[in-house]
Structure 1
Amino acid sequence: MSHFLTRASLLPLLGALPLAPAGASDFIDDSKLKLQLRNVYFNENFRDEHGMSARAARTAKSERTEWAQGLLLDFQSGFTPGLLGFGVDALGLVGVKLDSGRGRSGTGLLPVHDDGRAADEFASAAVAAKVKLAKTTLKYGTLLPKNPVLIYNDARLLPQTYEGGQLISSDIDNLTLTGGRLERFKLRDSSNSVAIVPDGYSGEKGGDFTYAGADYKLGKSTRLSYFYGELENFYRQQLAGIQHDLTLGQGVLTADLRYFRSEDAGQAYAAKIDNHMYSGLLSYAVAGHTFGGGYQQLRGDAGLPYVSGATVYSFSNVGIGKFIEEDERTWMLSYAYDFAPLGVPGLTFMTRYLKGSDGKSNSPINESERDTELAYVVPHGMFKGVGVKLRNYVYRSDFARGRDSNRLYLTYDIALW
């Protein structure tokens, strides 16, 4: 592919754009074009000893298994010269079914038709215009927001995308300001743009999502953050966080503390929300080893609200469970190893265990999860950027179906320029 996607072949196209007048060398020279190939195999077997009646279990799927190929073409231009710099970003997404079936669909890799069959393929294209003044950038169009009150989901074949505007400014040393307003979104297994709703909401209402916040580096070891987000007529949420690194012996001890305050807003279409979530994680990294332990608790009415399909800024948002139900308490333990000190850069291993208890839903909530991951990315040479990742998740609960999940990811990142 790279033999025809060259700078020479794209210069006439870029020169025709109104944002790239003749001589706008920064627009072209600072541009980046990347192709990412993702091949994903997803297998999930359900365990019905808890969380489902025997009658319901007889008619429910016993497994979900799909295999698909994804292609992500990401173009990011530089900026035109001058006080105000103009640019454009573009994203092309394609997902192709390799294997599925009506009784095995619904993994989140591919769209599912009304007859229960997965789509053969799906695709979308997106563009965002951007303007830069000093170290402040304003973008409008398709966005991939990543902040504590809204993180786009990129855990399957293609990423979740949003439509709206976002401003990021780092003109003040050590301070990054972020703000935005989003109007619609596309789920990770869909090419349809829909109204933004919270997770678990099945009504017909939707709303805009507005957010603003700041990240501040206090010296070399401490990072502070505060963010506010509101999904119109559903909920509002605040996040305060602090991270601190402490050199201890031959390693580094990191403390990460987070506090969420969530309330219903406006018409409260998703019912009453009024809760607090406290969480903390300690991790110690030394000689390639990282040991972690944490605790999290919700107090108040309802679980932690978040946008449908999004990733939650929580230590407990890991493989299958999220552990953010009303009044739930969760303990977390983890271990990771980077094999670089042994002379194998690019090879990593991780395992973790989570135990949630005392939560409330239609019945008492207790859940647990064990995750294991082995990954390797070729660090250099002819196959630099080729990656393989194997994940195994075991989830058990007394209010939802247990699951055993195996996932294999084959990826290849190619810098076309």
Structure 2
Amino acid sequence: MRVMKWSIIALAVSAGTTQFAMASSQDDAKGFIEDSTLTSKTRMLYMNRDFRNGAGNIAKPTGGFKSGYREDWGLSELLNYQSGFTQGTIGVGVDAFAMGTARLDGGAGRQGNGLFATKSDGSPEDTQSKMGGAVKFRISDTELKYGNQFVASPVFSTDDSRLLPEVATGTLITSKEIKGLELSAGRFTALSSQTGMARDSINGKGQPGLTSANIAGATYQFTDNFVGGVAASDVEDYFKKQYINLNYTLPIAESQALNFDFNGYRTTSDGKELLGDVDNKIWSLAAAYSLGAHKFTVAHQRSTGDSGYNYGIDGGGSIFLANSVQYSDFNQRDERSWQGRYDLNMTSYGVPGLSFMARYVKGDNISTTDGEGKEHEFDFETKYVLQEGPAKDLSFRLRSAIYRTTSNNGNDVNDFRLIAEYPLNIL
């Protein structure tokens, strides 16, 4: 699930534009060691899901389940090293990471939240670890990276919603030679899941894993307030996908602004059609009004075609839509959904680092074998980030979702998560 607060593309482009025919990033290279960074991120996640009916972990001999309650608690550590580039026309560097998890609580009868892999006896793993790296080259403002990496394309995005992120293996080229324009292209041949330590552990709902995914994209900052982006992918034997984003911010006053964010996908099955006949168009439009410490958002999302929107084999984060929220994505066949959201930043009230969010999403018109399906979800979230002291940037985040549906076999869920995270710059 992915929540679009503001367009991630708009933020990336506005933060990373370069000057054409001016000094390039490679001209400013200080050296392999001199520009190196080493960071760590410690994350503790407690998560429980209470399936009210229709789901569970331990099956009864007579049918159904003994329990629908899932509870996991774990700790993860991610070390990320990024070298600088060597000086000269062609800069060379490396990126590397090491990460691992430790289970603090959660047994075979309660697991299933995606925090830990499962051992042969059905119990969750106590510890897991993974390492990887990539080599990178840079000419001017164009960079090529090959190896293990984290990716954030709308059509191929590694997910980081649990203890550890997914990791993709392949090649990615990113070019920022012209001011305001960012171009990217890549080919990925493996994708490891958040609990799978193997190089290729993502599968498509029981089908073989990723064979290859070719992606391309472009974003352009037309003005300071308007950015647009397009992307496309070809995931071999699964589907082809196209994406578009338009994001516009209208400043009203010093502390007021109105933002519009449009996202759309078109997906069609390809090759062996390992996910069946995929045929879907889905789009969302969100309007957000910011007034000082307050932000009010309304959004509408609509899915059409012979199937719902499919993703996952191309990364668990490949759903840049307004109504992809904590539990549901509201992306089923023919579904229409509406969202109302309120954000409050307590900085203006003398408590910097404290924020609140409440959101309600309602979906209907879902095509099911039993007629029209409906679903709705209420989310509440609060987060506090320490602003100073030896534990500066340590954050605490509480997320709660109440989900109810007449589709998905009546799979009603209460979802609760408590997340503590501490990022640290070592070098």
Q: TM-score, normalised by structure 1?
A: 0.90
Q: Does 1:139 align with 2:145?
A: yes
- Aligned AA for 1:319? Q
Give the fraction of aligned pairs with identical amino acids, expressed as a percent: 30
**Is the partner of 1:372 in helix, strand or coil?**
strand
2:136 aligns with: 130
Give the Cα–Cα distance (whole angstroms) in 1 for the partners of residues 50 and 194 of structure 2. 21
Partner of 1:89: 95
Which residue of the partner structure matches residue 200 of structure 2?
A: 194
Relative to structure 1, the CA distance from residue 196 to residue 407 in structure 2 (aligned partners, 3 Å threshold; closer, same or farther) is closer
Inter-partner Cα distance in structure 1 for 2:272 and 2:192 = 24
Distance 1:84 1:375 in 2: 43
In the TM superposition, 1:48-197 aligns within 5 A as 48=53, 58-59=64-65, 61-194=67-200, 197=203
Aligned: 1:328 with 2:338: no
Superposed displacement of residue 314, structure 1? 1.2
Shift of 1:27: 1.1
Q: CA deviation at 1:306?
A: 1.2
How far did residue 196 of structure 1 move?
Answer: 5.3
Cα shift readout 1:306-341 (whole Å, capped 9, x = no counterpart): 124612111122111111111111111111111111
In structure 2, the partner of 1:404 is 414
State the Cα distance separating 1:58 from its structure 2 match. 3.6
* 1:279 equivalent among 276, 280, 284: 284
* 1:55 Cα deviation from its structure 2 partner: 9.3
> Residue type matched to 2:86 in 1?
T
**What is the distance in 1 between the residues matched to 2:223 and 2:249?**
11
> CA-atom RMSD, angstroms?
2.1
Going from structure 1 to structure 2, the CA distance change for 1:140 and 1:133 (only over 3 Å counts) comes to: same
Aligned amino acid, residue 402 of structure 1: D
C-alpha spacing 1:45/1:246, structure 2 compared with 1 (3 Å): same
Alpha-carbon distance, 1:43 to partner: 1.2
> One-letter code of the match for 1:389?
R
Q: List gaps (5 residues or longer) in structure 1.
A: 1-23
Match of residue 323 from structure 2: 316
SS at match of 1:340: helix
**1:367 aligns to what?**
375
- For the pair 1:379 / 2:387, whether they are aligned, the reply is yes
Q: CA deviation at 1:362?
A: 4.0
Rounded Cα–Cα distance in structure 1 between residues aligned with 2:106 and 2:379? 25
Native 8 Å contact 1:359 1:366 kept in 2: yes
Give runs of aligned pairs for residues 157-306 of structure 1, distance below 5 A. 157-194=163-200, 197-198=203-204, 201-204=205-208, 206-249=210-253, 250-306=255-311
Q: TM-score under structure 2 normalisation?
A: 0.88
Letter aligned with residue 417 of structure 2: R
AA partner of residue 64 (structure 1): R
Matching residue of 1:415: 425
